[in-house]
Amino acid sequence: MREQGDDRVDAIREAETLADLSELLDTDSIHEAYFRAKRIWESALAEEQSGRPDPDRLPGTTVVVDGHSITVHGVTHAGTDAEQASLRTHVQRFLDRGASVYCEQGIRPMYFGNVDGVCEMDDYLWATAQREDIDDRSGFATVPEGFGTMSVDFGEVASEIRDATFALIDAGSAMYGEQFERALGDIAADFLTDHTDRAIGNSYEAFRLSRDASEDPSRLHALQQYYERTFLPQPLEREWLRRHDPELELLSHARNERMAEYVAYHNDRAEEVHLIVGAAHQHGVAYYLEQYQRDKEIPTAFELY
């Protein structure tokens, strides 16, 4: 017999809009529906994740589209030597066996500048070009000449304050203990994050897991799982973020759809394909690849930026 929790998770998966979600969860507002769905989703996914075996390779999410096995690998893109060495080893193995490798814009010059065969997508340039359709452009950075980093100037000062606070809390963990550290981190996050941060996964837990994985790539799976249970299905997260910060929605979740479309269009030969993207993008890109797996048509034309 199905549990009520299973039914609610199915309802969240099926909802296309926040209004649908509110009706399905019987809430008085889409605000209440969004945060209730977050709690339900996180709890259900955490239980599911606990039963999975640890990966014995570079972790990722695999989607098969028209016979092509496409695996999306989320990474920290923190620029550490440890992550670079790990990724270069894995990517070289992919290339040696004839696989195609694509990466989120900015990751190639960071890790694979002298590695032939790694294709950089145009997701950031595409997002920047779309800003002309948005009235309020405050804080949206222009792509610098010779673009080759992952940085963007939206809420930069607030972000720096948040990260500095999280780093200070993390530095005291050896003195106060892990349990107190996490409790203090959660309290700080309540003060230093807002509704848009919830939609892009910013939290003390994300900060800690990303730091750990950047220093020890064997811990990358934990960071990927955090984003999997944190993000609702893409239509819901994107609508929520559009209502609060349309430019940030364009720069974050909208790029997931662009990257999926880029690979679906350009890859027509390799049976094995790998995408290297920021961990916060992994499950969103996989979501849109799954739309092609079902019945979405691959575009017949594609404008590069």
Q: What is the pLDDT of residues 132-187, one digit of tens each?
A: 766 555 444 444 444 444 444 445 545 555 555 445 545 555 555 555 455 544 55
Q: For residue 146, which of 125, 161, 131, 166 has the smallest C-alpha distance?
A: 125
Coil, strand or helix: which one is 124?
helix
DSSP 153: -
Query: For residue range 199-213, what is the model confidence (pLDDT) as tens digits?
Result: 787 788 888 999 999
Structure confidence at residue 142 (pLDDT): 47
Nearest 10 degrees: CA dihedral of 35, 185, 255, 101?
Answer: -130
Q: Is a pLDDT exceeding 80 seen at residue 85?
A: yes
Percentage of the chain surpassing pLDDT 90?
61
Q: Which residue in the block uniquely carries the two structure tokens 């405050």?
A: 138
Angle at 285 between CA 280 and CA 287, to 5 degrees: 110
Give the mean pLDDT of 218-227. Answer: 97
Q: Is a pLDDT exceeding 80 seen at residue 118?
A: yes
Mean pLDDT of the chain: 84
Give the mean pLDDT of 84-111. Answer: 97
Structure tokens that stand for 71 in this block: 């695996």
Q: How far apart are CA 209 and CA 96, in angstroms?
A: 31
Q: Which residue in the block uniquely carries the two structure tokens 């065969």?
A: 117
Structure confidence at residue 185 (pLDDT): 46
100-104, 243-247, 248-252: which is most confident? 100-104
> Torsion-angle region of residue 296: left (phi > 0), alpha (psi -120 to 50) or beta?
beta
Q: For residue 7, which of 22, 25, 20 has the smallest C-alpha distance?
A: 25
Query: For residue range 8-32, what is the model confidence (pLDDT) as tens digits?
Result: 898 899 999 999 999 999 999 999 9
Name, in order, each residue with C-beta under 8 angstroms of 140's C-beta and a sequence gap of 6 or more.
128, 131, 134, 152, 153, 154, 247, 251
Give the mean pLDDT of 289-303. Answer: 90
For the purposes of burial, counting CB atoms within 10 Å of the CB of 137, is it exposed (0-12), middle (13-18) or buried (19 or more)?
exposed
Structure tokens that stand for 178 in this block: 């892990």
Q: How far apart are CA 111 and CA 76, in angstroms?
A: 12
Query: For residue range 124-139, what is the model confidence (pLDDT) as tens digits?
Result: 999 988 877 665 554 4
Query: For residue range 280-295, what is the model confidence (pLDDT) as tens digits?
Result: 999 999 999 999 999 8
Rounded to whole angstroms, what are the CA distances from 12 to 118, 195, 202, 220, 252?
36, 19, 21, 27, 21
> Torsion-angle region of residue 139: left (phi > 0), alpha (psi -120 to 50) or beta?
left
For the purposes of burial, counting CB atoms within 10 Å of the CB of 72, is it exposed (0-12), middle (13-18) or buried (19 or more)?
buried
